[in-house]
A and B are shown apart, each in its own frame.
Chain A
Amino acid sequence: MFLYRGKEGGHGLSPEAMQKHMEKWYAWMGDLAKKGIMGASEPLQPTGKQVSGSKKVVTDGPFIEAKEMIGGYTVVNAKDINEAVEIAKGCPVFEVDGKLEVRPIQKM
């Protein structure tokens, strides 16, 4: 699973540049889909609720610092983490100083 971390991308880019950047994402994801290695892939809303402690205290976000925020996730089918890392390297997130975390999903 890829977790896209970091603050929202595109700050300081012009609308045209952002559209170009988005088109790269389409191309990248389209490519993963074509190769049949892409599973679920969704953006997450920037805010939510945090439930904590035994008293189940509910607070509003941000849960953690903006730079650690998870913007979305993609599940890919790879034979091991190395292959997943190779796939991740093509992600356009790196063009805007974004971060991507690769985590194997625990098989039960």
Chain B
Amino acid sequence: MAENTNKEVDKIVDHLFRHESGKMVAVLTRVFGFPNIEQAEDIVQDTIIRALETWKFGKLPDNPQAWLYRTAKNKAIDLIRRQKVKHKIENDIAPLLRSEYTMMPAMNEMFTENEIKDSQLRMMFACCHPSISQEGQISLMLKTLCGLSTHEIAKAFLTSEDTIQKRIYRTREKIKEEKISLDYPGADAMVNRTDTVLKTLYLLFNEGYNSSHPEKLIREDLCEEAMRLLMLLTETPKTNLPQTNALLALMCYHISRFNSRLDDKGLIVLLKDQNRAQWNTFLIDKGNEYLQFSANGEVIHDFHIEAAIASAHANAPSYEETDWKMILQLYNTLLQRTNSTVVALNRAVVLGEVEGYEKAITELENMKGLEENCYYNASLADMYLKQGNSELAKEFLRKALTLTSSNAEIELVRRKLADCK
């Protein structure tokens, strides 16, 4: 055994405990019912501790996943036999759990691959129930489906553990109040509810991708989790909608650039200066593939347009050879649909590439409500600089400097200031 120790370590998959925790919590909550989620979490915690205590001696079971499921199943059955489930189990499996003849087979069935996926999907829908606040949805999803602790969630959102604990507590109270179950919404509500789930996953991804978080690993984790859950949606016919694929394409394109956005000193590298050879071509290909799948049905979703924009960037051989005209058209459509100031800001920058910086400046100067936005001031400065007006550029850069607390962003603006001669 001893000689094998190092070889054995290789077999432990990255994040095995975390991912399997998420799956087991979803399955056991499905078995016990949503109000009993805490008991499900306790069992999973005990299971992982048992694994730690047993496996740390260097021996891994042949199939670690099966070992975890077996242990969790046995603990769950013990709990049911001792009748210590706080709230009565009331769901379609409940009758099967009352008889010793059917209990074990029913439990085994719940831990098959398809049922695990189904439980995760149900949990995703329940977490993204419209009556739960956006931040509550994300926190609960990270806790129950992704196996993150409140401490880790707090770290990801740069807030205190206390805040996250309260947030999750309030969300759970809401679940009980509103009697939110793990049942799927009816066929007529399915598309709408899937869109809510997509929106939450989009926000989760953005949190990881855009956040000025100092720790890259945490940000990568959030993106990875969002993509992992989204993949689940594409693997299930009823949630594998065109917009699901469009969103996944969008994420693939973005994440393909993840590593080239920062240099080795952790400083921001702008799109124009990024080394495109560092972009992950596998992910760009995947993005193209999902974008193909998304070109279906009769409805255009915002994600289709955003993915198309990201696709134009990801597939462009260089900054100069980017199809700015098409990107501008896509932004025009997106702006009409969303009327969002962030979209308008991005569109103006693209307008500068297509119709000249003069036009972009007029457009930007006419925008209202963005005066205190760091990106707005930085973009305006950039346009002035490209136009050759370094005095005004400096002015807006200095303003931008006061509007961000991210070290990487401050450094970027400083470098730009130094460029203004």
Out of A30, A32, A72, A92, which one reaches B53, CB within 8 Å? A72
Known contacts A17-B149, A41-B58; is-contact A23 B9 (Cβ 8 Å): yes
Cβ of A32: which chain B residues have Cβ within 8 Å of it? 2
How far apart are the CA atoms of A11 and B138 in the complex, in Å?
25
Find out whether the CB atom of B18 lies under 8 angstroms from the CB atom of A29.
no
Contacts A15-B21, A17-B149, A23-B12; is A29 near B53 (CB within 8 Å)? no
Q: Mark B51-63, 1 if CB is under 8 A from A, else 0.
A: 1111111100000
Q: Which residue of A lies closest to B19 (CB)?
A: A15
Instruction: Please tell me if B49 contacts chain A, counting CB pairs below 8 Å.
Output: yes
B53 near A9 with CB under 8 A, answer yes
Question: Whole-angstrom distance from the CB of A65 to the nearest CB of chain B?
Answer: 17
Task: Assess the B9–A43 pair: CB atoms within 8 A.
Answer: no
The total of chain A residues at the interface (CB under 8 A) is 30
Interface status of B151 (Cβ within 8 A of chain A): yes
CB of A19 within 8 A of CB of B15, answer: yes
| A residues less than 8 Å from B57 (CB atoms) | 25, 29, 41-43, 72, 74
Complex interface bits, A7-20 against B, C-beta within 8 A gives 1, otherwise 0: 01111011111110
Q: Are B52 and A22 in contact (CB under 8 A)?
A: yes
Would you mind naming 15 contact pairs between A and B with Cβ atoms under 8 Å apart?
A8-B49, A11-B49, A14-B147, A14-B151, A15-B48, A16-B18, A19-B12, A21-B56, A29-B2, A29-B5, A41-B1, A43-B53, A43-B54, A43-B57, A46-B53
Chain A residues with Cβ under 8 A from B51's Cβ? 22
The interface residues of chain A lying within 8 Å CB-to-CB of B151 are 14
Cα distance A13–B21 in the bound complex, in angstroms = 13
**Does B8 sit at the interface, judged by CB under 8 A?**
yes
Q: How far does the alpha carbon of A27 sit from the alpha carbon of B17 in the complex, in Å?
A: 18
Q: A20-66: which residues lie under 8 A (CB-CB) from chain B?
A: 21-23, 25-27, 29-30, 32-33, 38, 41-43, 46
Partner pick for B148 among A14, A21, A23, A71, CB 8 A cutoff = A14
Q: In the assembly, what is the distance between CA of A27 and CA of B56, in Å?
A: 10
Known: A30-B9, A43-B57. 6 other contacts (CB 8 A): A10-B49, A14-B152, A19-B15, A19-B16, A19-B17, A21-B56
A26 in contact with B8 (CB, 8 Å): yes
B113 lies within 8 A of chain A by Cβ: no
CA distance A26 to B52 in the complex (A): 11
Cβ contacts under 8 Å, B53 to chain A: 8-10, 43, 46, 71-72
B50 at the interface (CB under 8 A from A): yes
- Which A residues are in CB contact (< 8 Å) with B16? 19
Measured in the bound complex, the distance between the Cα atoms of B21 and A15 in whole Å is 7
Closest CB pairs A-B (n = 6) = A14-B149, A33-B2, A25-B56, A15-B17, A30-B5, A19-B17
Least CB distance from B117 to A in Å reads 19
- A25 partner residues in chain B, CB cutoff 8 A: 56-58
Q: Quick check: is B6 within 8 A (CB to CB) of the other chain? A: yes
Give the Cβ gap from B58 to chain A, nearest Cβ, in Å: 5
**For window 48-103 of chain B, which residues contact chain A by CB distance below 8 Å?**
48-58
